[in-house]
């Protein structure tokens, strides 16, 4: 009986320690974090696009967290500075990701600001990156003989569109591209102290 009590007690202590280390301490460190200067709230289109990003499983192949140079050469890969907690202020849920089958997308909006490129890449990735293993998303587009007024027809490389047809982006595709273009964290991450004036700047 005493062994069972000891085992249960040890388990409760381990659970308390793990909860403190993984939940309580991070909360105490980050609960009062404010959004980084330069970080803007998502628009309604970007929020819809974020849901398209989630529902299509983009998080399983792409991260959104460039690492410090002491851990990985993410900066040399062109993915931007290391991310900080304030960069994710408006993200619910966070989409940090744990896999990099494809490149990190933390700054894809800055690296690739062209909506035409994003739309074409979603429709047929290998028309833009020959060695890409990313799946295409044809269900985010309509193929028709002509675009209707107000529709966004894709400008595709030769041979990417079905002969004699045009490819038109659905609202879901446009929202997803709006979200991807919003992933631009090229502002300064942290305030710095000006030694001459004592004022904080960026």
Q: Using CA atoms, how far apart are residues 55 and 87, in angstroms rounded to an integer?
A: 22
Query: Stretch 56-79: mean pLDDT, rounded?
Result: 93
Q: What confidence score (pLDDT) does residue 175 get?
A: 98
Confidence check: pLDDT of 55 > 70 = yes
Do 173 and 119 touch, CB atoms closer than 8 A? yes
Which pLDDT score is estimated for 20?
Answer: 79
- 128 pLDDT higher than 90: yes
Tokens in use for 8? 């249960």
Q: Is 60 a residue whose pLDDT tops 60?
A: yes
DSSP structure string for 177-196: HHHHHH----S-SS-EE-TT
> Phi-psi bin for 159: left (phi > 0), alpha (psi -120 to 50), beta?
left
Q: What is the CATH number of domain 33-201?
A: 1.10.760.10
In tens, the pLDDT along 163-186 reads: 999 999 999 999 999 999 999 999
Rounded Cα distance, 189 and 81, in Å: 8
> Which pLDDT value is given to residue 30?
67
For the record, the structure tokens of 145 come out as 């003989």
């Amino acid at each position: 009986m005493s062994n069972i009590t000891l085992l249960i007690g040890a388990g409760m202590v381990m659970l308390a320690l793990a909860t403190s280390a993984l939940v309580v301490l991070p909360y105490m460190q980050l609960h009062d974090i404010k959004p980084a200067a330069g970080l803007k709230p998502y628009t309604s289109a970007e929020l819809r696009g974020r849901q398209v990003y989630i529902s299509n499983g983009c998080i399983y192949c792409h991260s959104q967290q460039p690492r410090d140079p002491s851990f990985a050469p993410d900066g040399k890969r062109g993915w931007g500075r290391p991310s900080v907690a304030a960069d994710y202020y408006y993200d619910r849920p966070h989409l940090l990701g744990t896999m990099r089958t494809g490149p990190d997308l933390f700054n894809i909006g800055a690296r690739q600001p062209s909506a035409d490129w994003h739309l074409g890449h979603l429709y047929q990735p290998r028309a833009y990156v020959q060695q890409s293993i990313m799946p295409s998303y044809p269900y985010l587009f309509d193929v028709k003989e002509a675009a209707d007024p107000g529709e966004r027809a894709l400008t595709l490389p030769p041979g990417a569109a079905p002969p004699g047809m045009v490819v038109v982006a659905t609202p879901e595709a446009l929202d997803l591209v709006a979200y991807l273009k919003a992933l631009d964290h090229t502002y300064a991450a942290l305030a710095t102290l000006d030694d001459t004036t004592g004022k904080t700047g960026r």
